[in-house]
Amino acid sequence: MQEKKRIALIWLRNDLRTSDHYGFYKASKECDQIFAYYTFDKSHFEETPWGFKKSGKFRTKFLLETVRDLQKELSNKNIVLIIEQNSADEGIPKWIEKLQVTDLYFQNEWTSEERNMSEKLKKNLSEEIKFHTYYNQFLFHPNDIPFEIKSLPEIFTVFRKKCEKFCKVRACLPEIKCFPSENKMLQNFEVPSLTDLGLLNFEIHPNSAFPFQGGNIKAMQRIDHYFWKTKKLSFYKQTRNGLIGQDYSSKLSPWLSVGAISVREVFWIIKKYEKEIEKNQSTYWLIFELIWRDYFKYISLKHGDKIFRRDGILNKNYLWDNKKEKLDSWINGTTDEPFVNANMIELSKTGWMSNRGRQNVASYFSKNLLMDWRIGAAYFESQLIDYDVHSNYGNWMYVSGVGNDPRDRKFDIKFQASKYDSHGKFQKLWNQKTLFE
């Protein structure tokens, strides 16, 4: 009796690549045919109670470019990418039935919306379907860290030092093969446009510090520029608090946020750079930032939905405000702090803000305006090209005094402006008046 053909469906979420991808790698080893699936869930583009879209135009444009790039790459490997605009728990069961899928592969996600979707999907599928889930978004794999998740340290430095001492970063998975022939019974799937998703088209602002496009190819081009062509990586620690231009930081976070490149790939390219060009404090510091990224993922894995609660993971009951006029002033860059205003205008015009800017505007929002930090976090979710749920909510909790900062600091905005924008060049660049002159 002939063995049943194994057909895989890879449900893609924030892992939009084929390189160093556990699902594609395992399916290519275990199955006879692979299909991939991605959906632009319409709920992600609805308006929040605060009057802005859950996913705004900048982040969505980058996502669309990434999906388009991945579609081409998969087509070259004779793998069809199914693209829809509905919820995964509705779309995936239909395709599983139509394609006679035997194995479903998808990355583990644990924050509430993603977790609920996974659970709803499982209820809608036959018990005969084989589920393959995996963690593929970490630098240090959960099976390798020297802690139980429940006893994960609440201080980053403790986490970092122990992981650096006792953990090894796993090697990247090999590139998947090209499959024999594409399944011709499927139609060509179109990537939607911004207007299809209810968003406005726009031109990239000429002063944008992030004028780049989505997709793995563009990610590798950025690495080639920042690492090998200009060797800016060797000066990262000195320039990382910059405010103007494309090269004060690596700018890799948007590609990491959608999974167009894996964090392990970045790590091992840094190690190659250290071996071939030089190893110094700057090359280490980019790894240091990747470990911070990992840490916020582990904090959300440990604390679950507490990262979305007003009192945060510290259960601190501050009296937060939610007045719309205060929120509008912060969003529109019309507060009494020019440095905050410049950063907020940059965000509204480009979808980008420096790390230094993010800390200042978040501190001002929660510690000066005394606004509910979750509203600020939701606005960042809407606007930031590099939005990542774990880093976003982790950083907002940290700055607002309900997260992993044991010192509960408040930024002195004027001092920060004088230190990092001493000649006011950044503030002048993103001043309301000069923008419209």
Does residue 181 surpass a pLDDT of 90? no
Among 253, 284, 305, the domain-final residue is 305
Task: Give the pLDDT of residue 179.
Answer: 80
Task: Give the pLDDT of residue 409.
Answer: 81
Task: Give the pLDDT of residue 317.
Answer: 82
Whether residue 362 contacts residue 413, with contact meaning beta carbons closer than 8 Å, is answered with no
Tokens (6 digits) for 191: 């990537």
Cα–Cα separations (whole angstroms), residue 74 to 71, 78, 198, 237? 5, 6, 27, 37
More confident residue, 404 or 313: 313
* Torsions phi, psi for 288 (to 5 deg): -55, -45
Does residue 287 surpass a pLDDT of 50? yes
| Residue 89 counted as domain residue | yes
- SS3 (DSSP) at 228: helix
Beta partners for 104?
9, 131
Whether residue 170 contacts residue 140, with contact meaning beta carbons closer than 8 Å, is answered with no
| Residue 412 counted as domain residue | yes
76 in the same domain as 99: yes
| Residue 185 counted as domain residue | no
131 in the same domain as 141: no
| Residue 196 counted as domain residue | no
Task: Give the pLDDT of residue 114.
Answer: 92
428 in the same domain as 318: yes
Domain range for 413 is 309-435
pLDDT 10s digits, 408-418: 789 999 999 99
Beta partners for 39?
84
| Residue 179 counted as domain residue | no
367 in the same domain as 241: no
Among 305, 340, 358, the domain-final residue is 305
Tokens (6 digits) for 366: 């929660």
162 in the same domain as 105: no
pLDDT 10s digits, 206-217: 999 999 999 999
Does residue 289 surpass a pLDDT of 80? yes
Does residue 347 surpass a pLDDT of 70? yes
| Residue 208 counted as domain residue | no
Does residue 406 surpass a pLDDT of 70? no
288 in the same domain as 350: no
Cα–Cα separations (whole angstroms), residue 202 to 55, 265, 379? 15, 32, 19
CATH number at residue 410: 1.10.579.10
154 in the same domain as 288: yes
Task: Give the pLDDT of residue 434.
Answer: 54
351 in the same domain as 266: no
pLDDT 10s digits, 94-123: 999 999 999 999 999 999 899 999 999 998
| Residue 200 counted as domain residue | no
**Distance from chain centroid for Cα 354:** 15
Q: How far apart are CA 195 and CA 313, in angstroms?
A: 38
What's the mean per-residue pLDDT of the chain? 94
Does residue 254 surpass a pLDDT of 50? yes
Average pLDDT over residues 231-260: 97
245 in the same domain as 148: yes
Look at the chain and report how many structural domains it folds into.
Answer: 3
CATH number at residue 118: 3.40.50.620
Q: How far apart are CA 254 and CA 336, in angstroms?
A: 30
> Taking the C-alpha atoms of 103, 105, 110 and 115 in order, what is their torsion angle to the nearest 10 degrees?
-50
Least confident piece of the model among 325-334, 381-390, 406-415: 406-415
| Residue 205 counted as domain residue | no
Whether residue 144 contacts residue 167, with contact meaning beta carbons closer than 8 Å, is answered with yes
322 in the same domain as 296: no
262 in the same domain as 246: yes
Among 287, 305, 323, the domain-final residue is 305
The sign of the dihedral angle between the CA atoms of 233, 239, 240, 244 is: negative
411 in the same domain as 316: yes
